[in-house]
Amino acid sequence: MKDFFTDFRSALAFITILPAGKEVAYSPLGMIRFFPLVGLLLGGLLILFDLAASHFWPLPVVSVLDVLFLVAVTGAFHLDGLGDTADGMFSHRPKERVLEIMKDSRTGMMGLVAVVSVLLLKTAGIFAVKSALPQAQILVVLLIIPSYSRSSMIFGIRYLKYGRQETGTGLDLFEKPLGPKDFIFMGISVVISLF
């Protein structure tokens, strides 16, 4: 049971800025299976934020605030990665140069375009969901989508090859192949989706 909480706290500290307690052990292979649970936690917090914001602002403003809330609680970690990836991939350079560009801390025009585009799509998506669905379904969607997006990271780790060979933030996550147990907590979101 101790490993369970250690690995969950490690996942929480890795993909959010939420407090995970003191002296959180970094457990790269242990934390992967907890990404969907962290997503459910983010979804729960998003619901609370959305309900509170909806009392003060109209729907378009709340949709923007919901996206900004998610950016804040994740520390924009994945937006940074998206920008770096877009800068590298759209540079049309050889692989070695692409990896150098992706490692550069500066954001280029393609990274900026990618980040802005994704934020706009997320805002439009939340606006569309909140405009078209009944309240109960809106809450379910806000709960499970962050879980599914964190679950997609597990698929990436399982089925994609790591780009760098010796270094990188995610290298430890690719240390060994993932098995069925690493996908177990995705089942919670799937079950919620069925209802």
pLDDT at 2: 67
Task: Please give the residue that has the higher pLDDT: either 131 or 166.
Answer: 131
Mean pLDDT of 165-171: 70
Q: Which residues of 19-41 are buried (b: 16+ CB within 10 A; e: fewer)?
A: ebeeebeebbbbbbbbbbbbbbb
Angle of CA points 157, 163, 165, to nearest 5°: 105
Mean pLDDT of 22-48: 92
pLDDT at 75: 93
pLDDT at 177: 83
Cα separations (Å) of 47 from 10, 29, 120, 130, 182?
A: 23, 29, 20, 12, 26
Mean pLDDT of 155-179: 79
Plot region of 2 (φ>0 → left; ψ -120 to 50 → alpha; else → beta): alpha
pLDDT at 165: 67
pLDDT in tens, 129-144: 999 999 999 999 999 9
pTM: 0.89
Closest CA to 163 of 98, 86, 82, 112: 98
